[in-house]
A and B are shown apart, each in its own frame.
Chain A
Amino acid sequence: MARKCRIDIVEMVHKAGAGHPGGSLSAIDLIVGLYGTGFRFEKDNPDWQDRDRFIMSKGHASPAVYSILHNLGVITKKDIDGFRTLGSICQGHVDMKWTDGVDFSAGSLGMGLSFGLGCAIAAKMDGSERNVWVMIGDGETQEGQIWEAAMAADFHKAGNLNVIIDRNRIQNDDFMEVQMEIGDIGNKFKSFGWKIIEIDGHNMSEIVDAIGEATNECSLPCAIVAHTIKGKGVSFMENNPSFHGKAPNDEELELALEELS
């Protein structure tokens, strides 16, 4: 499944001539792991109120979301072929108003954890067992709002809120160590009262175990710090800041597809 998604990602971005392959490829194993591990949703009833929520806060990694929705049969090949084109349900950044199966309108970093907290508080008020999953980037933690939300999640005892941090160490302009290194993200969340799980974000068994452990933990919000490689799966994109927001050309697409098939 992850391999099929990766193919979708590089093809989507290539066809659109724009998009963000690096952070999509670093995140996709985590997303596949989440949807394959009891994430409760109904593909024919995307508005089911008691579904679990997946809030993709790093909304530029939209190809990763569209690829999983495509491979789960929520949206079609035609939909993803329209990525970033006028009138397409696959907008440049994930948008709940446009796409079935998308739970948040992202694109401006730092907002999704707060939104997920709102979903989590509402679920608690309703006595619902739905879980809320938020994915953020490591660079995204430079936004102050992330820490407003982290503080509030502890205060409101949002044990049904989980965040997966895609720790790929690269942001738009360069490596984080050049731009603004955050340091030990896990410890920072821990100091805000969160339960922490550190994993290899490309090891499916570790991903599945972490998701299970996070779901079982009831009283504390949980942060999974997933160490990943930006561009994972396509050698020339791996750990390469220039593929944060750049589409592969025809030749690069061919090479990428060779590696992924």
Chain B
Amino acid sequence: MSAPSSGGASRDGYGSALLKLSNDPRVVVLEADLGKSTKSCLFRAEFPERTVSMGIAEQNMMLVSAGMASSGKIPFASTFAIFTERAFEQVRNGIARPGLVVHICGSHGGIHTGTDGSSAQSIEDLAIYRTIPNMTVMHPCDDLSAEELTLQLLNHEKPSYTRTARNKVPRIYNEENVKEIKIGKGNIIKEGVDVAIIACGVMVNEAKIAAEKLENDGINACVVDMHTIKPLDGKLIDKLAEQCGCFVTVEDHSIIGGLGGSIAEYLSRNKPTPVEMVGVDDRFGESGGTTELMAHLNINSDAIINAANAVIKRK
């Protein structure tokens, strides 16, 4: 299945990448009764013999993946982001600690998932996986970048967690320029000198919208797609600290421990620079339409504009 031309959800990119990875016989796919949602169903339809259905049992899925990785396979295991969290200790002790290369995908991350309500809205996944030694943590912004980054995992020698989103968003990349992105390297979407807006996932689009509006007010903002939260692209942050002198971090995630947390940690240790964080402010989500929920929780382009104006004053 090809991704829709008008834009697509990052989960679609994950699904299409799995199909492209099928050429490598080591690649196996594990799912926990949510293959239709995470889009691993695309692989399952074509390669049932290399798809392992684990039922609704995420802890078992993580360790079965680890066992397969120790036996020469490259497992891609997916479920909802929130349900990977149920198996956090399994990921920590069974996958990352022995350094087994298992690639976990948590779909439907963040409050963007909307009406299902807070039980389904993972807002702490990036933070918890970031604490595990050896883990790579990613959150791509559209279907094309999700596909590209997932394809790059084939030759990635560390276990990884990739959060994808349920909803379609306008594409940030096109078929050509998406090939320039690399795991571990932030990507400048728009150059600017007054403030650096660092975003991940669905919020990259909001950051782009905010930057366009700021331009009308005479503020030249730089926008970065920081699709890899760990390892963090410190070189780029160093450069932007010099270039812009202040930061706004933007994520559909708790402001504690995720993208904003990691950038604040980096800057406080290397080059103290004013930071404002746009994200879920230490509370759970709730049911609601995506747009109204983002406004309600103050994590949309308007919130980014306010944060940018505030942080520029702190320079």
Give the interface of A toward B (CB within 8 A).
49, 55, 95-97, 103-105, 107-108, 110-112, 114-123, 125-126, 144-145, 148-149, 151-152, 155-156
Contact = CB atoms under 8 A, between A and B. Distances in A.
A96 B60 contact: no
Contact of B64 (A105, A107, A118, A144): A118
B55 A115 contact: no
A121 B94 CA distance: 17
Interface string B54-73: 11010110111111111111
Nearest to A115: B67
Contacts of B65: 118
A114 B59 CA distance: 9
Contact of B57 (A55, A107, A148): A148
17 contacts: A111-B59, A111-B63, A114-B60, A114-B66, A115-B70, A117-B63, A118-B63, A118-B64, A118-B67, A122-B71, A125-B28, A125-B50, A126-B71, A148-B55, A148-B57, A149-B63, A151-B57
Contact of A107 (B49, B60, B93): B93
B98 interface: yes
A244 to B, nearest CB: 21
Nearest to A112: B63
A155 B63 contact: no
Q: Among the interface residues A108, A114, A121, which one has the most CB atoms of the partner chain B within 10 A?
A: A114
A114 B89 contact: no
Interface residues of B, number: 30
B99 interface: yes
Given A117-B67, A156-B52, A148 B72 contact: no
Contact of B68 (A55, A111, A118, A144): A118
A113 to B, nearest CB: 8
A104 B98 CA distance: 8
B150 interface: no
Nearest to B52: A121
B90 interface: yes
B97 interface: yes
Contacts of B70: 96, 103-104, 115, 118-119
Given A114-B63, A118-B65, A152-B55, 18 more contacts: A95-B98, A96-B70, A108-B89, A108-B93, A114-B59, A114-B64, A114-B66, A115-B63, A118-B67, A118-B68, A121-B68, A122-B28, A125-B73, A145-B59, A148-B60, A152-B57, A152-B64, A156-B52
A157 B69 CA distance: 20
B63 A96 contact: no
Nearest to B89: A108
Nearest to B53: A155
Contacts of B54: 152
A3 B101 CA distance: 39
Nearest to A119: B67
A170 B67 CA distance: 28
A212 to B, nearest CB: 24
B67 A114 contact: yes
B93 A111 contact: yes
B49 A111 contact: no
Contacts of B66: 114-115, 118
B59 A148 contact: yes
A104 B52 CA distance: 21
Contacts of B28: 122, 125
B55 A117 contact: no
A184 to B, nearest CB: 23
Contacts of A116: 67
Nearest to B65: A118
